[in-house]
Amino acid sequence: MSSEKNYRVVSAYLSAILIFLAQPVFSTTTTLTQDSNQRTSVTLESGVQFQDIVVGTGAEATKGKILGIHYEGKVVSTGKVIDNSRWKLIPTPLRFELGGGKVIRGLDEGLTGMRVGGKRLIAIPPDLAYGDAGVPPEIPPKAWLAFDVELVEVRDKETSTPATQVTP
């Protein structure tokens, strides 16, 4: 990848994070705004903010479904990467039940309604991540987190049969 293309990707990512942080931290209703690329940013009542970079066309992520995601998580204030599903020895999507308490609550909220094949930036306030304590030294106290997520799979819980799967 050329350095110019790298610069554009990083610039777009940082612009999206700045758009997230410019929104109200805690709103009482869902708020919609658009950036210069006509992408809509959503702020949920809880304070979770997201922006679809690519809108998927496959099965929808709903509570109780088993999801498969690739992701990169960062601390917003420092830009430090705290986890990346593709950094594993064998890059495998993280699989979990949406709403099942296996991931931080803000990630559950930010993934709800997403469709397979989609890519989404999600900004999560501290109270829906690791709160006042954080997880030092990786995640400082009261840290906002940002996740770049790709939804690659949605399965029914009962059958574990893929509703839709996209090959990464």
Structural domains present in the chain: 3-165 (3.10.50.40)
Q: Is the pLDDT of residue 54 over 80?
A: yes
CA distance 90 to 80: 22
3-state class percentages of the chain: helix first, strand second, coil last, to nearest 5? 20, 35, 45
Q: Residue 14: its pLDDT value, please?
A: 47
- What's the whole-model pTM score? 0.75
Computed over every residue of the chain, the mean pLDDT equals 82
Q: Residue 39: its pLDDT value, please?
A: 73
Least confident of 34-38, 54-58, 66-70, 145-149: 34-38
Pairing of strands 119-124, 162-165: unpaired
* CB 114, CB 151: distance < 8 Å: yes
CA distance 68 to 145: 20
Q: Residue 70: its pLDDT value, please?
A: 97
Using pLDDT thresholds of 50, 70 and 90, give the confidence band for residue 78.
very high
Name the helix (H) or strand (E) containing 45: none
Cα angle 72, 78, 83; round to 5: 25
Which of 26 and 136 is assigned the larger pLDDT? 136
